[in-house]
Amino acid sequence: MNTAVPPTCTAFLGHRRVASGPYAEVDQALRALDLSAGGLLVFDDASGALVDHPWPADHAPAPIADVLTDGCGMGSASPGVGRPRLGVVAREVTLLPRHWAWLAQQRGGASATLRRLVDEARRSQAEHDVPRLAKERVYRFMSAIGGGLPGFEEASRALFAQDGTAFAQRTAHWPADVRDHLAWLARDAFAAAPLALT
């Protein structure tokens, strides 16, 4: 049986973490707080991107910043197109004529060939994608919440240089809740060893 894990988020008031978990639970926790002073930031845990609050009940919003920019001419899905029972979504793909000609000669046609190519690329690039996506997630979070904190620029350089030790040093004096959340978001960002921020 395939059970989907609900998307999660983490909420901060200033630099203090006030709620974390599935969107519905975080929404319930936030509604019990006095948010009149402002300073609320809610981050999607998978992407590190800011999300707007409040959101509709039982609905996890899309991150404010686009998580994925593919640059390959993918349009939005057309309603009623595709094979929904199989989870297939129809979108526009823009290719040059030589690409279409090659695809037309492949076993199973263009769609089947594209699916195979994407699956092969996902498998072959997985070890590179995990740290890259983790760094992007960390940077989104730290830019939104820690852009004004001391050592931010140096921490950013250390993050993208994959220097976990320097990153930990540059963020060591940041507020504890921010440091802890950074460590959790950065768990896959540094290939050599897990990041320990204490």
Domain boundaries, the chain: 1-67, 68-94, 126-198
Say if CB 18 and CB 33 are below 8 A apart.
yes
Confidence of residue 6 (pLDDT cuts 50, 70, 90): confident
Q: What percent of the chain has pLDDT over 90?
A: 43
Cα–Cα distance, 175 to 134 (Å, whole number): 21
CA atoms within 13 A on the CB side of 51: 25
Confidence of residue 140 (pLDDT cuts 50, 70, 90): very high
Each residue of 94-109: pLDDT tens digit?
888 888 888 888 888 8
Each residue of 46-91: pLDDT tens digit?
999 999 888 766 666 766 654 333 334 434 444 555 555 667 777 7
What pLDDT is stored for residue 111 in this prediction? 83
Q: What is the mean pLDDT of the chain?
A: 81
What pLDDT is stored for residue 68 in this prediction? 38
Helix%, strand%, coil% for the chain, nearest 5 = 45, 10, 45
